[in-house]
Structure 1
Amino acid sequence: MHIIVIGVNHRTAPVELRERLAFPEQTLPEALARLRETRGVLESVILSTCNRTELIFVADQPSRAVEHTERFLESWSGVPQAEFRPVLYVHREEEAVAHLYRVACGLDSMIVGETQILGQLKDAFFLARDLGNTGSLLNRLLQQVITFAKKVHAETGINDHPVSTSYAAIELMKQVFGDLKGKRVVIIGAGKVAQLMGQYFRDSQVRQMTFVNRTLEKAEAVARSLGGQAVPLSALTDVLADADIVVSATGAPGYVLTKQQVEPLVQGRSRRLLFMDMAVPRDLDPQIHRLPNTFLYDIDDLEGYVEAQMAERLKVARRIEGKIAEEVAAFRQWLQTLGVIPLIAALQQKGQHIHRETMESLQNKLPHLSERELKIIRKHMMSVVNQLLRDPIQRIKELALEPQAEQSQNFFATIFALEEYLLEQELQQQKAEVKAAPSAQEARTEVPLPFRL
């Protein structure tokens, strides 16, 4: 069985193409049903976000399965293969496993270390599992991937280093004040940056937010949505007198506040006053920082802070990469031992068959034995069978990790004469697939037979 991931993301494809290849949430059940019926696909998951679309699947013949899934993607999205194939990546086997670990940990995201993708991957997996698209391989792999990602996020704190300028601004303010709770904030502007800063301030439980804008109606709309108040630009100096923090994010061509305007407001003031200029070109006169008890930061200060935080994230990311390599090796080892499961089951089945026939023969030859005596004999004979099988089972597990694993498994099946039992397993598996198509997806990969009968 082969694990494969094909897809596009923010690095390989422009947003215009990504949005055409995306799977809207309401269409995912139907899309998963179609993918489940795609030739050569035994298990499947669809991961679709604003930055990536990926088909995660298990196949028996990888090359053909990739061709069929590309056709599925073309048919579903309406985007010709000639258009998306140049930017489509294909990861196979261990490369695919490592890719899924990196995606879940946020190492493949636009913002390294972000946690949103982990929730999106978990939702995609749970939906596919509930609809019968996954089986033993993807269930095991994605459960381990999700558990691992949760653990590294908790232990490494990679997401503790803010890398957006708005969040960085809040963190910088906390370094000045210690805590923003109870502070009075004035926000100049009513655009996206002003709104985002307002959300952060609300979450920080500031005492009061006042939005100031040239168009009062816009300021009022933002203030209503965030629980603040609004005043026109002409009242700016009036609200500055009681402010602890002033954030400016307008598109004005010149300074919104000059040193001369601010100086009378800070004379005789004992409290700190922090100005955060998030506009380009700048809204605030750089000379404001010369005033007493006044702090002024601009976008360049924030960029430096963000770069430092990103450097810290990348350090953590390198440590996580090392842990991922260990996880991939562990999964490879589990995958290699998966092929011996039908062998072990067949050997145990044969042991039970011998035990059952021997007990029947014993009862026929010694009919005077009581039920209690038979129970004791049955128990001890089963113990003998289990002890005889213990070492061969352990040895075949070890041989599964060796380079000549397939030859060893064939020899094991021959020397213990397991062909009949393995054939019976395969027949039962085929009957199960015919009886229930959704559950057959799991049945196909539950007991793979990588060796020849």
Structure 2
Amino acid sequence: MLIAVIGVNHRTAPLEVREKLAFTEWGMKDSLKKLMSFPGIDGCAIVSTCNRTEIYIAPMVLDTGMSSVWSFLSEKSGLDISEIKNFTFCHTLYDSIRHLFRVVSGLDSMILGETQILGQVKKAYELALEAKTTNVVLNTLFQQAITTGKRVRTETGIDQNPVSIPYAAVELAKQGLGALDGRSVLVVGAGEMSELTAVNLVANGVSSVIVSNRSFDRAVQLAEKFNGTAVKFDQLFQYMNRADIVISSTAAQHYVIKTTDMLKVMEQREGKPIMMIDIAVPRDIDPEVRKIANVTLYDVDNLQNVVDANLEVRRKAAVLAEGIIEEELDEFMRWLSTRFVVPTITALKKMGEEIKNRELVRAYNRLGELTDREKKIIGSLANSIVNQLLHNPVIKLKQYALTPEGHLYTEITQNIFNLEVEGQKPQAKSLPEKKKAAGGLDLNSSWDKGIAAMVADSRCRE
């Protein structure tokens, strides 16, 4: 059983292409079952988020499985296969496993180390389980991937330092005010950045949200999301007296909060400190405001400094994460290789034993009356010949089992000796079929040459 992934993400394709290749959660089970009806798909799972769609398959024949995925995506999107290939990436075998481990660890995300992808991959796996489209290989792969994602976050802390403007605003608020439990925030402007910042503040304990916007209806809509209060723009400074934190992000081309306004506010507050975070460009708050006593003002540059510093911390954590991923990858490959090699060795020895016993019977019949000692000598000779013939293949298979190409050597062995391995599908019998089952290997050439051709991912680049 092989492993491959074909996908599209924010680096390989524009939004209009990603939209056509995206899958909805409610329709995911039907999509998975549809893919399973295509030739060569023995197991599949689909990870689909706003930034990526990735189809993982575990086919017996790599070329057939991958061709089926291209056809499936073409049928789903209405795009030509050649066009889809221009925007997608493809990984097979070792690289496909590493890719999933990096994805679930947040190393392949737009925001390095983000945590949401871990839950998204877990959900994708659960949907595939419910649709009954996984198999032993994919089950183990996704289970270990999820474990790897959790381990990376626990051991490296890669997700502990915020690297977005809204998260940075919350971090600065915490630094200036300490715990945010019971605090109140006034949100000036009702755009996306304002909403994201408010969401993160509430998630960190802020209990009261006041929203002021030039469009009062929009202020009402945003306030309702937080069970907050909407106020008209001309009442802004009256309600500023109640706020511990002010977040401002409007589209105005001039200061909407001036120094004179804040002097009056601070007189009414009687010296009670206030933190102001200006995330607008151009700025909403006059920078001179920071000179007023008990006023702390941060702007986008201050926030970006926090983001840059935290991103550097995440980059260092990512280096540690790569090491963890390699450890987990090696462990999975040992499991996968063992899954292939042990039944194959058993089948190989069984074949040798059957041939030996059959030929001994023939020999005994031809030789006529033999003493027990003579039968024992002949039997020992037959045992010795079989064991010596199979010794090197068995030793080599065990050695190759611990390499990324181990399962390929195993499949070639199954084909060469025409083995029927318990728990695995019968291998192709004719030479052309053998070559196809081995992923297009030329069995007349050396194994290493064939393996190199196999792992070159040529089919991904056609």
TM-score range, shorter chain: 0.7 to 0.9
Q: Displacement, 1:315?
A: 1.2
Instruction: Show CA shifts across 1:50-84 (max 9, x none).
Output: 11111111223323432232112111221112322
| 2:43 aligned counterpart, secondary structure | strand
- Kept in 1: contact 2:397–2:410 (CA 8 A): no
Relative to structure 1, the CA distance from residue 108 to residue 180 in structure 2 (aligned partners, 3 Å threshold; closer, same or farther) is same
Partner of 2:366 in structure 1? none
Contact 1:182 1:205 in 2 (8 A): yes
Could you tell me how far 1:26 is from its partner in structure 2? Answer: 2.6
Q: 1:355-399 CA deviation, whole Å, 9 max, x = no partner?
A: xxxxxxxxxxxxxxxxxxxxxxxxxxxxxxxxxxxxx9x978844
Report the aligned-residue RMSD. Answer: 3.5
CA-CA distance at 1:89 after TM superposition: 0.8
Which position in structure 2 is the counterpart of 1:100? 100
Name the residue aligned to 2:118: 118
Contact 2:71 2:81 in 1 (8 A): yes
CA offset at residue 218 of structure 1?
A: 2.7
| 1:316 counterpart residue number | 317
Partner of 1:129: 129
Aligned residue number for residue 364 of structure 1? none
The answer to whether structure 1 residue 17 and structure 2 residue 5 are counterparts is no
Report the CA distance between 1:38 and its aligned residue.
Answer: 1.8
Identify the residue that residue 206 of structure 1 maps to in structure 2. 206
Contact persistence 1:12–1:87 (CA under 8 A) = yes
Q: How far apart are the structure 1 equivalents of 2:407 and 2:33? A: 34
Residues 141-167 of structure 1: per-residue CA shift (max 9 Å, x gap):
111111111122122221111122112
Counterparts in 2 of 1:258 and 1:20: CA distance versus 1, 3 Å: same
Equivalent runs, 1:157-172 vs 2, <5 Å = 157-172=157-172
Residue type at the aligned position of 1:250: T
**TM-score between both structures, scaled by the size of structure 1:** 0.76
Amino acid at match of 1:212: S
| Aligned equivalent of 2:296 | 295
Q: 1:133 to 1:166 in 2, by over 3 A?
A: same
With over 3 angstroms needed to count, the CA separation of the structure-2 counterparts of 1:424 and 1:148, relative to structure 1, is closer
* Aligned match of 1:269: 270
Indicate if the aligned counterparts of 2:341 and 2:397 stay in contact, CA closer than 8 A.
Answer: yes
**CA–CA separation in structure 1 for the residues paired with 2:290 and 2:409:** 77
Q: For 1:171-208, what per-residue CA distance to the aligned partner results, in whole angstroms no more than 9, with x for missing partners?
A: 10110011122333222222222333333333333353
Aligned with 1:320: secondary structure? Answer: helix
Q: Against the structure 1 CA distance between its residues 78 and 207, is the aligned structure 2 distance closer, same or farther, given a 3 Å change threshold?
A: closer
Structure 1 residue 259: Cα displacement: 1.0
**AA partner of residue 331 (structure 1):** F
User: Partner of 2:332 in structure 1?
Assistant: 331
Structure 1: state its 5+ residue gaps. Answer: 354-391, 414-418, 431-443, 445-450
Counterpart in 2 of 1:195? 195
Q: C-alpha separation between the residues in 2 aligned to 1:133 and 1:111?
A: 31
Indicate yes or no: 2:74 matched with 1:66. Answer: no
Residues 70-128 of structure 1 deviation map (CA, whole Å, 9 limit, x = unaligned): 11211122111232211211101111111010011111111111122122212222222
Aligned residues of 1:396 and 1:409 also touching (Cα < 8 A): no
After superposition, give the CA deviation of every residue in 1:25-52 in whole Å (9 maximum; x if it has no partner): 2322222122212222222111211111
SS in structure 1 at match of 2:277: strand
- Residues 3 and 172 of structure 1: is their aligned pair in 2 closer, same or farther, counting only changes over 3 Å? same
Q: Aligned with 1:13: secondary structure?
A: coil
> What is the number of equivalent residue pairs in this alignment?
389
Cα 1:210–1:158 change in 2 (3 A) is same
- C-alpha distance in structure 1 between counterparts of 2:34 and 2:401, whole Å: 36
After superposition, the Cα gap between the structure-2 partners of 1:254 and 1:70, relative to the gap in structure 1 and judged at 3 Å, is: same
Distance in structure 2 (CA, Å) of the matches to 1:36 and 1:184: 53
- Closer/same/farther in 2, CA of residues 26 and 234 from structure 1, 3 Å limit: closer
Contact 1:20 1:77 in 2 (8 A): yes
Q: 1:258, CA displacement in angstroms?
A: 1.1
- SS, match of residue 91 in structure 2: strand
Find the counterpart in structure 1 of residue 254 from structure 2.
254
Residue 344 of structure 1 and its aligned partner are, at CA, apart by 5.9
Q: 1:206 to 1:32 in 2, by over 3 A?
A: closer
Contact 1:339 1:400 in 2 (8 A): no
Q: Aligned equivalents of 2:15 and 2:97: distance in 1?
A: 26
Where in structure 2 are there 5+ consecutive unaligned residues?
355-390, 427-436, 438-446, 448-462
Name the CA distance, whole Å, in 2 between partners of 1:331 and 1:341.
15
SS of residue matched to 1:174? helix
Q: Aligned pair in 2 of structure 1 residues 7, 184: CA closer, same or farther (>3 Å)?
A: closer
Determine the C-alpha separation between the residues in 2 that align with 1:286 and 1:102.
42
Give TM-score scaled by structure 2 length. Answer: 0.75
**Distance in 1 between residues matched to 2:80 and 2:48, nearest whole Å:** 19
